[in-house]
Structure 1
């Protein structure tokens, strides 16, 4: 529900005062969805805006219990992620029965960097960093804004030419998979729905490397590691349930890797 309710600019959006949101949900949208055969199976998420709006937006809307009964989760974008990621955890701690979902992300959105950059690793790295940060702070899913775009980063009726995991060259009847495409695969392929995040502890405080770990419904352990540094890093991965056994992994500079083993 809503698209960037506090945003300025020329995008299509539904602007709501926070105080009016709960009234609209409890008096109109929520009951209408519940009466509908299709709507009753829809998960309603609130906000759909930047991390800067949390946890206040969720606090105000969800304190209205009549509105809260219709709400399943909280939708958040990635564009103002200079705001501490801890605000996601704070939001979860205040509203643990509502999931948090990343509903929009893209690279090339800043005015000085518009348009696709074919083969650019740094943009894939940005995706990996943000996904790891989000998943490590109670976000249960992450969505790219554009599955595919043309060579100019469009089409866009507001001339918002950005990048995408897949770029289409219609003239040549070709498409190009960007680093972002393969980065997303490390998470979407190896961490299926129903996976549960588990504790991951680095003995030395990570600076340019990071990771996230899960147990899958198939009882496999999945570890995704990212090295944003300019030097390779060697990890010794220890599973406390494996009686001190360790797995040695060398992660090249500017790279991502996924390790899977049976629980």
Structure 2
């Protein structure tokens, strides 16, 4: 009798052990239209008709550079307007480990539309730039960056982008439009070098640059300067690259292009034409404003294949041409937003700019980018006010965090949590891995972090909850995702 009991117990123990061995241990965090905000989910509905998502970590793609947003004068100015408590809450929400833990950031070199006025660090005509100064950034931008640095335990990279050279270097002598005169190519390259030194003196290391924000221009509305692919490559190959190298700054990253994806082929063909043209380019920068829904995977793949060992970074994105909705989460989950193209795109491009759901646009684009070789994704302003500014041109936009400085109130929109699903859980040096997904209604991307953990991001844009089985090797886990939801599933090492 005793022997029979031992046998039964042994069988039970074996069954439990086998069950545990086959179960995948996961932590699931969800943001959804029904109110979840990076909420940890432990209860899952089940269904016989479930999809399957299978991870293949042995097959790797690009190495992640990071995720984050931009330090703008507008955002920094607003942080100075809110109370100390709310300022700290916002900085920690973006840069603390308990928050979004941003790892890749951008700022503007000279003024941009999200500045309070137009200015240059070298306002006086002088090729040697003897009066170069970043004094315009001392009160707002630099304190915001330094506070973020002090808050971030893991650190973050920061790259700078000029919207324009000072007007005296340009053929039209204006802030808006025009081209850099060839006689000032050397002075403009020196400008970049002096900027590195000036920020270094403030305790800030600049990781790199994009050569020019939106070299096709912006419709001649705010600060801009035009380059053709050939002109930019000439400037980088013969002036900017050699200048930084000569000044002992050859390790600084130079990203070419920095505009919409549809123009990628034309640019990378010139940038990476040969060894000489590509020598000083470390990668390509892109924006998302060509469409509210189209990812342009063919263009992204073409750019990667043209220079597979170089960066491909999404450097700017936002809900543009909209005044933010205040404390109205439902709007960010509804198909109500329009972009610049809704009113201004040519008739043959109108189809690229329909009404859209803001959360969907972010989630869809980031996952689509990760699955098409993009290694970094950077949002635009981190903080704006209820009008969508300040912006000297009144080019109102939305940021993940909105503040009312008069009432000292802060609103974390669903876009903040959407960004955090990636930035918090997919860390620099992670490797994007292969996945198989049987449900075309789900968008999925996955990456293996340096610590061995795997982060899987699942996006469900449908109006129905979905069930799926997540498999890694012999182990699996049945998971459900709410309607209109984004999940990050973390598999510990």
If the length of structure 2 is used for normalisation, what is the TM-score? 0.50
Cα deviation 1:2-51 (Å, max 9, x = unaligned): 111113231212211112121111111111111224x3332000000000
Structure 1 residue 83: deviation in Å? 5.9
Matched, 1:48 2:227: no
**Contact kept in structure 1, 2:260 and 2:290, CA below 8 Å:** yes
SS in 2 for 1:15: coil
Structure 1 residue 202: deviation in Å? 1.1
Task: List runs of 5+ in structure 2 lacking aligned partners.
Answer: 1-210, 334-356
Name which of 411, 430, 435 aligns with 1:176: 411
| Aligned pairs for 1:36-75 within 5 A | 36-37=247-248, 39-75=249-285
| Aligned pairs for 1:75-224 within 5 A | 75-81=285-291, 82=294, 84-107=296-319, 109-110=320-321, 114-118=322-326, 119=329, 120-121=332-333, 122-204=357-439, 206-207=440-441, 209-224=442-457
Deviates more, 1:125-134 or 1:82-91: 82-91
Once residues 453 and 281 of structure 2 are traced to their aligned partners in structure 1, the CA distance between those partners, rounded to angstroms, is 32
**Contact kept in structure 2, 1:226 and 1:256, CA below 8 Å:** yes
Aligned residues: 253
For the pair shown, the structure with the greater C-alpha radius of gyration is 2
Cα deviation 1:141-170 (Å, max 9, x = unaligned): 111111110100001112110100010110
**Contact kept in structure 1, 2:270 and 2:277, CA below 8 Å:** no
SS in 1 for 2:379: coil
Task: List runs of 5+ in structure 1 lacking aligned partners.
Answer: none
SS in 2 for 1:54: helix
SS in 2 for 1:30: helix
Cα deviation 1:114-173 (Å, max 9, x = unaligned): 211232233122111110011110100111111110100001112110100010110111
* RMSD after superposition: 1.4
Comparing both chains, which one has the higher relative contact order based on Cα–Cα distances under 8 Å and sequence gaps of 6 or more? Answer: 2
**Contact kept in structure 2, 1:22 and 1:67, CA below 8 Å:** yes
Once residues 83 and 132 of structure 1 are traced to their aligned partners in structure 2, the CA distance between those partners, rounded to angstroms, is 10
Name which of 442, 458, 477 aligns with 1:225: 458
SS in 2 for 1:100: strand
Once residues 26 and 90 of structure 1 are traced to their aligned partners in structure 2, the CA distance between those partners, rounded to angstroms, is 22
Deviates more, 1:183-192 or 1:52-61: 52-61
Once residues 83 and 199 of structure 1 are traced to their aligned partners in structure 2, the CA distance between those partners, rounded to angstroms, is 19
Structure 1 residue 94: deviation in Å? 1.8
Once residues 64 and 15 of structure 1 are traced to their aligned partners in structure 2, the CA distance between those partners, rounded to angstroms, is 23
